[in-house]
Structure 1
C-alpha cells in the first residue's frame, strides 16, 4: 500500500526521540505497517501530485514500479509555501524509514540531497533535472528538454496563422531557459518571420510560478491579446492556467512534461492541446527503482534525449496527427537533431 505523507520540520526533542526509536529498532511513522519488502520513495516538487505535469509523471513511474516490481511506494508532498524549507528533514525521514531509492523530484532538491546522501551511503538518491550535486550514491536523471522544445517550435511555426506565438516559463531558471531556447530556435528555423513572445511568471527565489494557475492564465491572456495563437508553457501546475486561457480563446496550447492531452484534470481543454513536449520522467523513475531492486543501482549522470525517446512530442491529439505537413516537418527535425545536423541551443 502506498503511503502519502507530509513530513513537517521537527524540533530537537522530537528529532532525538525519532533517532532513539530507530536506533532501538522501533519504526518511524513512514515504516508503520511495513512487512520488510522493497520500498521506494519520491519527494515531490512544488505543486505536488496532481499538477497534471512534472510531479504526476514521476508518480506514474512509482506506480508502475509498484505494479510491475512489487515495490511499496511512499510519496512525500512538499510543505506549504513556496520556499519549502523542509527538504533535508523530508529526505532524511524517507531514507531512515528504509526506502531505497529516495528520489527528489526537481532541481530544488539538489542541496538537500547533497547534504543527506553521504549520511546514508547504502541508499541510492535520485535527483531529477540537476547535475550540480554528485556522489557515489546519487543518480542524476537529466533530459534534453531543449530538443523536445525545438520540435514544439517547429509545430508552432507551422500552425500559427497570426505569425505570433508565445512561450511562458514558470520561473526564470537555467533549466526553464532550456525550454525557451529550444522552442524559439525551432520557431525561427522553421519561419524566421514568426514573432515569439516570451514571459516568465516569477524570478528566484520566488518559485510560485510553478504552482499558481492564475499566473499562467493571466500571462497567456496577455499573449493572446497581443495576437499569439499558439502558446507553449513550461510552468508546472501554473501551465494549466495557460492551457485554460488558450482553449477558451479557441487557440492552440502546447503542454509540457506529461502528455497533457490525456490528463484527466485538463479534459475540458484537450481539443485545444495541440501536442505536449514530453519528458520520460516516468521511465527514469521506474528504471532507477528497478536498478536498485536488481542490485545494480544506477549512479552518476543518466541522460534522456530524443535518441532514446527520453524527450519527444506527443501525438495523442488526432487534429495534430492529421496535419501531415506539420508532422512531416517535426519528423525531419527530430531526425536531423539525432543525426547531429541540427544543434539545439541550451540557452536563449
Structure 2
C-alpha cells in the first residue's frame, strides 16, 4: 500500500488509481467545512483543518510517532469544536512524504505537520508552493527561513545526558551501550549527551555504540535492533539506551531475554511498551506531543509563529521518566539526576552535541 491515512474526528482516506486522496467530513451533516468562512451555509464556525504526516514506522512505534499522535489527540480533545484533523503514514520507504504533504496542502488544510527530520526537503518544497498554508516540521528546519514554516526542535543531548548518568550509576559491569537508528547528526546528539552524562559520573566507563543503518528504514527494523543489542551485551553492556524508533523494540527484546536494563526514548516506554516495563530503567522523554499541541494551538488562537522553537530541559521539552512501573529501579538515583538537571539549566554543565566532543 502506497500510503495509509487515518481520519481523526471525521477523516476518510481513499486510494484511487494509485494516488492518495484525503477528505475530511463534517460532523452530523456529512459535509466538509466551507473554507470560505461561511460555515457550510448553516452558520457553523469554520474549523482549523490540521493534517499530520508520520514518518517511517507510523503509529504504533511506541515512540516518536506515537508522541506526535498524542499531541494531535490532545488538540482534538481540547479544541474539538474548532479543529478537524487527519493523520497519514508514508509508504514503507517514506518516498511519498512529499506527496502526502502536498495532498493536504492542495486540499486547503490550514496546518500541515511533518513528523521527523526526513521531511526537511519535502516541507521546503511544498511550503514554497503553498505560501498561504502553515507548515510545521519536527526535529528540523529548512536551510532558508520560510515565513510559513515552524521548526519544532529539541535539545536531545540535554535529556540524553541525564539518562547517560543514570546508566553509569546503574551499571554493574562498567560497560553500557547505545543503539541509534539512522546515523545522522540528529541521532548523534542523543549519543553525545548519553556519553557525556555517563562519563560525568565515571570517566572510565566504556560506552559501546552502533547504528541500525543510514536510511529511514533504520528506524523500523526491530530485528536489527535485537542483533545490535545482543552483540553489545556479549561485550559486557548491561544497560542499553536506544534512539531508534521502532527498531528499539528489538533492543527491548534482547535486553529482557538477557536480563539486562534498557533505556527508552521519546515516550515513557515503560508505559507505551508495557511488555518490557520490568527492564526499562527509564526513558529519555522528548515531548513531541507538547510541540505538536503547541503549534496546533497557535493556529487555533491565530498566533502562529514561523521559525525555530527549541524545547530543552528548561522548557520541559526533554527529561527522564519516572512512574510507578519503573520507580523501584530508579528512585535511588533521582536526586542525583535532578541535581544534574539543574546544573544543565543553569549553564554550569554544558552538554556536547557531537560524540567526537565527549
Using the size of structure 2 for normalisation, the TM-score is 0.87
- 1:22-33 matches, cutoff 5 A: 29-32=22-25, 33=31
- 1:139-178 matches, cutoff 5 A: 139-178=150-189
State yes or no: 1:298 paired with 2:310.
no
SS in 2 for 1:302: strand
State yes or no: 1:65 paired with 2:75.
yes
What is the deviation of 1:322? Answer: 6.2
What is the deviation of 1:325? Answer: 4.2
What is the deviation of 1:46? Answer: 0.8
SS in 1 for 2:198: helix
What is the deviation of 1:193? Answer: 2.1
Residue matched to 1:326: 333
- Choose the corresponding residue for 2:90, options 74, 78, 98: 78
Higher-strand-fraction structure: 2
- 1:53-202 matches, cutoff 5 A: 53-70=63-80, 71-80=83-92, 82=93, 84-133=94-143, 134-202=145-213
Separation in structure 2 between the aligned mates of residue 158 and residue 216 of structure 1, nearest angstrom: 24
Alpha carbons 1:167, 1:233 under 8 Å: kept = yes
Residue matched to 2:6: none
* Alpha-carbon spacing, 1:6–1:240, altered in 2? closer, same or farther (3 Å): farther
Superposed CA offset, 1:236-255 (max 9, x none):
00011101111222211000
Q: Which runs of 4+ in 1 moved over 3 A?
A: 4-11, 317-325
State yes or no: 1:227 paired with 2:203.
no
Separation in structure 2 between the aligned mates of residue 281 and residue 162 of structure 1, nearest angstrom: 33
Higher-helix-fraction structure: 1
- Choose the corresponding residue for 1:257, options 253, 266, 269: 266
- Choose the corresponding residue for 2:295, options 288, 300, 303: 288
Return 5+ residue gaps in structure 2 as ranges.
Answer: 1-8, 26-30, 35-46
* Alpha-carbon spacing, 1:321–1:7, altered in 2? closer, same or farther (3 Å): farther
Residue matched to 1:34: 32
Separation in structure 2 between the aligned mates of residue 309 and residue 216 of structure 1, nearest angstrom: 29
Separation in structure 1 between the aligned mates of residue 264 and residue 204 of structure 2, nearest angstrom: 23
Superposed CA offset, 1:113-140 (max 9, x none):
1111122222110011012443000000
Residue matched to 2:37: none
* CA-atom RMSD in angstroms: 1.9
Separation in structure 2 between the aligned mates of residue 43 and residue 3 of structure 1, nearest angstrom: 14
What is the deviation of 1:102? Answer: 0.4
* Alpha-carbon spacing, 1:132–1:57, altered in 2? closer, same or farther (3 Å): same
